[in-house]
């Protein structure tokens, strides 16, 4: 049995469902099933292949944070397509008051400046440590770090820090928040599929469970088409 986690306290076993839907038509256009212990971003490539096989093209991408590290995101950004995703929250493992959000992170100059004005260079995927001597004599030290004397404050820089900064700016605008809310439709579809399939896999192996997910998605699409036709008929009458 494969084990996966949504958080430190929430664990699940078996498989993960992944779907892609057209937000304009409401139809599910791609499905994938992966073992519970595999990262979500690995499923994005399989969904992309199904979308291309159906003759469709991605103009915008509305995704969960788990998919943000996928190669699909890099491909779309390289072609100047829009990607909408909630940014990762700035975690504070130091136990101090100042979080990463209190630091001025300049991704153009690749520098980071602390609340006291100390500046350091940054590198994607690395951890930057501020000068220990400066931190030891800083009046804001107690609010910034709980590290032992002789050690400076550290900040982790994500591999996709440039993108994360862009997503944070996007989420601060009204238009950006409206775009982020569009992905709620995908959550609803996943909830409906979960009700249809239940919470237990019917088969052993990803291939058979993918077949079952596609069956459930097809039925959901047919029901959606039926409701659309019924609404059109009432409007015409």
- The pLDDT, as a whole number, for residue 183 is 92
- Which residues of the chain does CATH 3.30.420 include? 3-88+165-236
What number of residues does the chain have? 237
Residue 6: pLDDT over 60? no
84 φ, ψ (degrees, to nearest 5) = -115, 125
2-11, 42-51, 163-172, 203-212: which has the minimum mean pLDDT?
2-11
Question: What confidence category does residue 1 fall into, taking pLDDT thresholds of 50, 70 and 90?
Answer: very low
Which of 103, 193, 192 is closest to 140 using CA atoms? 103
Pair of tokens at residue 133: 């001597």
Question: If you compute the radius of gyration of the chain from its CA atoms, what whole number of angstroms results?
Answer: 22
Angstrom distance (rounded) from CA 94 to CA 92: 6
The secondary element (H helix, E strand) that includes residue 176 is helix 174-181
Question: What confidence category does residue 207 fall into, taking pLDDT thresholds of 50, 70 and 90?
Answer: very high
- The pLDDT, as a whole number, for residue 129 is 95
Question: pTM for this structure?
Answer: 0.81
| 3-class DSSP assignment, residue 92 | coil
- The pLDDT, as a whole number, for residue 225 is 92
- The pLDDT, as a whole number, for residue 4 is 54
Mean pLDDT of the chain: 89
Residue-wise pLDDT for 33-75, tens only, equals 999 888 899 999 999 999 999 999 999 999 999 999 999 999 9
Ramachandran sector of residue 199 (left: φ over 0; alpha: ψ -120 to 50; beta: rest): alpha
Residue 213: pLDDT over 70? yes
Q: What percent of the chain shows pLDDT beyond 70?
A: 91
- The pLDDT, as a whole number, for residue 135 is 95
Residue-wise pLDDT for 97-146, tens only, equals 898 889 999 989 999 999 999 999 999 999 999 999 999 999 999 999 88
- The pLDDT, as a whole number, for residue 232 is 82
Angstrom distance (rounded) from CA 10 to CA 61: 27
DSSP codes joined into one string, 187-207: HHHHHHHHHHH-SS-SSSSHH
- Per CATH, is 3-88+165-236 categorized as 3.30.420? yes
Segments in 63-123 forming alpha helices (H):
71-78
Residue 93: pLDDT over 80? no
14-28, 85-99, 216-230: which has the minimum mean pLDDT?
85-99
105 φ, ψ (degrees, to nearest 5) = -105, 115
* Higher-pLDDT residue of 70, 96: 70
- Dihedral over alpha carbons 112, 118, 120, 124 (to 10 degrees): -30
- The pLDDT, as a whole number, for residue 230 is 87
Which of 133, 138, 169 is closest to 151 using CA atoms? 133
């Amino acid at each position: 049995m494969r084990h996966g986690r949504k958080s430190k306290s929430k664990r699940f076993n078996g498989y993960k469902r992944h779907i892609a839907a057209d937000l304009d038509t409401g139809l599910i256009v791609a499905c994938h099933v992966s073992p519970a212990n595999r990262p979500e971003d690995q499923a994005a490539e399989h969904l992309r292949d199904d979308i291309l096989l159906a003759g469709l093209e991605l103009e915008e991408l509305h995704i969960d944070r788990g998919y943000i590290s996928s190669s699909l995101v890099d491909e779309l950004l390289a072609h100047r397509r829009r990607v909408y995703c909630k940014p990762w929250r700035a975690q504070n493992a130091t136990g101090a008051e100042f979080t990463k959000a209190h630091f001025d992170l300049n991704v153009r100059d690749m520098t980071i400046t602390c609340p006291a004005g100390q500046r350091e260079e940054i590198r994607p995927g690395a951890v930057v440590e501020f000068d220990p001597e400066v931190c030891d004599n800083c009046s804001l030290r107690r609010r910034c770090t709980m590290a032992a004397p002789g050690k400076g404050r550290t900040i982790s820089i994500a591999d996709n820090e440039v993108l994360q900064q862009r997503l944070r700016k996007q989420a601060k605008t009204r238009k950006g928040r409206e775009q982020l809310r569009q992905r709620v439709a995908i959550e609803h579809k996943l909830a409906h599929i979960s009700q249809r399939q239940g919470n237990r896999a019917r088969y052993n192996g990803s291939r058979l469970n993918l077949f079952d997910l596609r069956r459930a998605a097809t039925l959901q699409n047919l029901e959606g088409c039926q409701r659309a036709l019924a609404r059109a008929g009432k409007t015409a009458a």
